[in-house]
Amino acid sequence: MLPLPRQRLGRRFTQLLIGLVVFGFGIALMVVSDLGLSPWQTLHQGVAERTGLAIGTVTILTGIVVLLLWIPLGERIGLGTILNVAIIGNALNRSLDLLPEEFASLPIRWLAMLSGVCLIGLGTSLYIGVRMGSGPRDGVMTGLARRGINIGVVRTGIEVTVLAIGWSLGGTVGFGTIAFAAGIGPIIAYLLPKLTVMPIVPVASSE
């Protein structure tokens, strides 16, 4: 497969930005549903509860800290990695400013939660599909896996650890957490092949 340094750069950059904003809005929907968050967002919410910082701000700061772990792991930082740290947390904060603090109706809360899971899956597929760098948390997982640790063990260990810490700090764990764990993989598996930007293959001349 050909590298993608400059091919379709405009489309890739636009798709990257849309994906990160959609990801942040999906998190916001899960937050206001109050039915449970993904493991990392449970951690971010727990830290936010203890520090008084906005959850999006904690998301940014955590991304920076996790990115420092890339140094000993030898992972390569891409433009997508940097924008992942900068945009998702800000999109989350802005979305929470626009959304109501809570929904009174339980069916609407469920709809918000399930929509959030779907949008996070869509946003993930959009930004991964442009191949401009993985997110900080994914980079730690792949970096450890390249050192011979089973990627399934790494992913599970990280997710369980951050979920336990987040829950102990006051983060929300519930049906949304289960829905995220069960649904995010199949959603990405379905959407990612459709949203991956393929290289432009030169047409061989017949002359």
Would you give the end-to-end CA distance of the chain in angstroms?
A: 25
Q: Which has the minimum average pLDDT: 20-29, 92-101, 121-130, 147-156? A: 147-156
CA distance linking residue 81 with residue 101, whole number of Å:
30
| Average pLDDT score over residue span 162-167 | 94
CA angle, 165 then 151 then 15, to 5°: 85
| Average pLDDT score over residue span 172-185 | 92
More confident residue, 1 or 182: 182
What pLDDT shows up at residue 203?
Answer: 44
- Region of 182 (left: φ > 0; alpha: ψ -120 to 50; beta: rest) is alpha
What pLDDT shows up at residue 11?
Answer: 86
DSSP-derived secondary structure letter, 129? T
pLDDT digits (tens, 9 = 90+) for 48-76: 999 999 999 999 999 999 888 887 777 78
CA distance linking residue 86 with residue 57, whole number of Å:
10
What pLDDT shows up at residue 204?
Answer: 44
| Average pLDDT score over residue span 135-163 | 79
CA distance linking residue 32 with residue 12, whole number of Å:
31
Sorting pLDDT into bands at 50, 70 and 90, what band is 29?
very high
| Average pLDDT score over residue span 14-29 | 96
Sorting pLDDT into bands at 50, 70 and 90, what band is 176?
very high
DSSP-derived secondary structure letter, 3? -
More confident residue, 3 or 171: 171
- What is the distance of C-alpha 145 from the center of its chain? 19
| Average pLDDT score over residue span 123-131 | 90
Structure pTM?
0.87
